[in-house]
Structure 1
Amino acid sequence: MLQFIKDLEPHVVGIHAIGEVTKEDMERVLLPRIDELVARQGEINYLLVLETDVSNWTAGAWWDDIKMGLKNFTKWNKIAVVSDQKGVQWFTNAFTYFVPGKSKGFALNQLDEAIAFVTAKEEESVEAK
């Protein structure tokens, strides 16, 4: 199941994944939020809190995820994936080399850091260095 995360900055879409994730979840929860964000600001800042195993995503959910990624390939600005699955964290970190934006994996106990990463605007990130 996908649930929209409220109380994030308006330039960020946050999704919490638990249990089984289906094509219907993607079409009802994630895809409309991403489309709305792109229409409003032209780029995507995305937080995924993954509290389910990736094997719990149905084939239809994976297919929709791939299509969303390709459709918006040039729109990705920041991606933060929060999961205690080391493979997911590694893949998210490596993903930064394949998309125009920045991508970073975090452990579940680093949720606050993930939110700070994905919500920070570039001028804030530069000033913080």
Structure 2
Amino acid sequence: MISLIENLPPHVIGINISGKVKEEDYKKVLEPAIEKQHKTHDKLNCLIIYDTEIANFSSSAMLEDLKTDFKYYNKWNKVAIVVNKDYLKNVIGVVSAIIPGELKGFSPEEIEQAKTFVK
């Protein structure tokens, strides 16, 4: 499930990912939020909180995630990913080297630092 996080600055998209994640979560929640943000801001800042395992993503959700990432490839400015798995934080470090903008991983205990990073 993908839900939006409220009470963030207007230039920051907040996303909470939990439980089972399906393609329609991207199409009904995430993509409209990104498109709305993109209409008013040239660059995208995003706070993503992963509260689920990768195994909970359907294959169509993973494909939709990639399509969304690449659709806005040159628009990402700062992306903070809060995740409780050390190996995923390491993957974030590798991915951040190949995409434009800044991508940084945080542990759940560092949520306030993640918010500050995307502000």
TM-score, structure 1 length as denominator?
0.89
**What is the CA deviation profile of residues 39-69 of structure 1, one whole-angstrom value per residue up to 9, with x for unaligned ones?**
1111111111001001111111111110011
Q: Distance in 2 between matches of 1:92 and 1:44?
A: 17
Unpaired segments of 5 or more residues in structure 1? Answer: 120-129
Q: Could you say which structure has the larger radius of gyration?
A: 1
Deviation at 1:86, TM superposition (A): 1.3
Does 2:52 correspond to 1:52? yes
Deviation at 1:6, TM superposition (A): 0.2
1:33-48 pair list within 5 angstroms:
33-48=33-48
Aligned length: 119
Which deviates more, 6-15 or 94-103? 94-103
Unpaired segments of 5 or more residues in structure 2? Answer: none
> Which letter maps to 1:104?
K
SS in 1 for 2:7: coil
Aligned position for 1:75? 75
Q: Distance in 2 between matches of 1:60 and 1:48?
A: 19
Aligned position for 1:88? 88
> Which letter maps to 1:21?
V
> Which letter maps to 1:118?
V
**What is the CA deviation profile of residues 17-50 of structure 1, one whole-angstrom value per residue up to 9, with x for unaligned ones?**
1100110111111111111111111111111100
Instruction: Flag the structure with higher strand content.
Output: 2
**What is the CA deviation profile of residues 78-114 of structure 1, one whole-angstrom value per residue up to 9, with x for unaligned ones?**
1110011112211222222111100000001111110
